[in-house]
Chains A and B, each alone.
Chain A
Amino acid sequence: MTAITKDMFHQFLRTAYPGGAGHPRALGFEFVSMDDNNGSLKLPYSADLAGDEDTGVLAGGAVTALLDHTAGLAVLAGMASPGFTATLDLRIDYQRPAEPGKALIAEAHCYKRTRTIAFVRAAAFHDDPGHPVATAQATFVMTELDGSAA
């Protein structure tokens, strides 16, 4: 089997990871950007993701999934060799309701990593990063595919 190179892995993170399959595709995530310890994804508004149809406000769960996936991207983008992550814990604080009809952007920063654990802060907002809908703090377990450092 051909080894997965870092370039192939980063191509995967830009295309399949945000919306190629499963839950991210079902929610409609889109890739925005990534670099070594940062990731950004976008969630376009969809009425069937409303938590309360009376208001049309996005379900907390959709915001949770977006922040979790974006935090994962920030971790994966900075891994020395291709691998995957598992969320250990995730704390979300909702600062205000998401505005119905508006896309949500999430930005995540991995501010510390050990051999196995990565620590991430993330926020979701509409237009202004300084005025977030929700903020998150998460830790992840990192596993490299080949078990060796690149």
Chain B
Amino acid sequence: MTDPIAGILKDMAYARRFQISGRLEDGELVCEMPYTQDILGNPRLPALHGGAVGAFLEIAAQMRLRLERPHQDLPATIGVTVEYLRPCRGGKTTFARAQIKRLGRRIANVHAEAWQDEARTPLALLQGRFLLPD
């Protein structure tokens, strides 16, 4: 059997550029984005760029959809809403997990959350709307 995680990251240049990876933990997909200077937004704190965190959450949601529907084309993002609760600190690995709230024939609604130290303390939340390929 092929590695399901390698499959869901296939063709995602952006995810590779920022070294985003995923693994299954008790059957649940956990995505990971290591700290690099390339995702830094505020060097004073230091904190990660809101855009980098939003992108990571969107990719986590897409990875989760791909895990659900292997060998399908990537779902196109219709829209995302990102809420920033606390700064994601520089120097730390950021994690994300996503939950499919509804998987329709054409539309999927996915929620994702990011954390660093404690999975129970989310730093950013995403609600995503995706168009599923035919």
Interface residues of chain A, those whose CB is within 8 Å of chain B, are: 21-27, 47-54, 59-62, 64-69, 84, 86-94, 97
A60 to B57, CA, bound (A): 11
Which of B14, B42, B52, B74 makes the CB contact (< 8 A) with A49?
B14
Establish whether residues A48 and B17, one from each chain, have CB atoms under 8 Å apart when the complex forms: yes
Establish whether residues A53 and B13, one from each chain, have CB atoms under 8 Å apart when the complex forms: yes
A47 to B12, CA, bound (A): 11
Establish whether residues B49 and A24, one from each chain, have CB atoms under 8 Å apart when the complex forms: yes
A143 to B84, CA, bound (A): 16
Residues of B within 8 A of A54 (CB): 11, 73
Establish whether residues A86 and B84, one from each chain, have CB atoms under 8 Å apart when the complex forms: yes
Establish whether residues A22 and B39, one from each chain, have CB atoms under 8 Å apart when the complex forms: yes
| Minimum Cβ distance to chain B for residue A79 (Å) | 15
Residues of B within 8 A of A87 (CB): 50, 82, 84
Residues of A within 8 A of B87 (CB): 86
With an 8 A cutoff between CB atoms, is B117 at the interface? no
Which of B44, B48, B55 makes the CB contact (< 8 A) with A64?
B55
10 pairs of A and B residues whose beta carbons are closest in the complex = A61-B55, A65-B51, A59-B14, A22-B40, A23-B49, A26-B38, A87-B50, A68-B51, A53-B11, A50-B13
Nearest-neighbor residue (CB-CB) of A25 within chain B? B38
| Minimum Cβ distance to chain A for residue B73 (Å) | 8
Establish whether residues A65 and B49, one from each chain, have CB atoms under 8 Å apart when the complex forms: yes
Establish whether residues B84 and A61, one from each chain, have CB atoms under 8 Å apart when the complex forms: no
Considering residues B14, B78, B79, B80, which has the most beta carbons from chain A within 10 angstroms of its beta carbon? Answer: B14
Establish whether residues B83 and A60, one from each chain, have CB atoms under 8 Å apart when the complex forms: no
Residues of B within 8 A of A84 (CB): 42, 44
Establish whether residues A65 and B14, one from each chain, have CB atoms under 8 Å apart when the complex forms: no
| Minimum Cβ distance to chain B for residue A54 (Å) | 6
Which of B14, B42, B47 makes the CB contact (< 8 A) with A62?
B14
A23 to B80, CA, bound (A): 20
Establish whether residues A88 and B84, one from each chain, have CB atoms under 8 Å apart when the complex forms: yes
Establish whether residues A90 and B82, one from each chain, have CB atoms under 8 Å apart when the complex forms: yes
A21 to B51, CA, bound (A): 14
With an 8 A cutoff between CB atoms, is B100 at the interface? no
Establish whether residues B51 and A52, one from each chain, have CB atoms under 8 Å apart when the complex forms: no
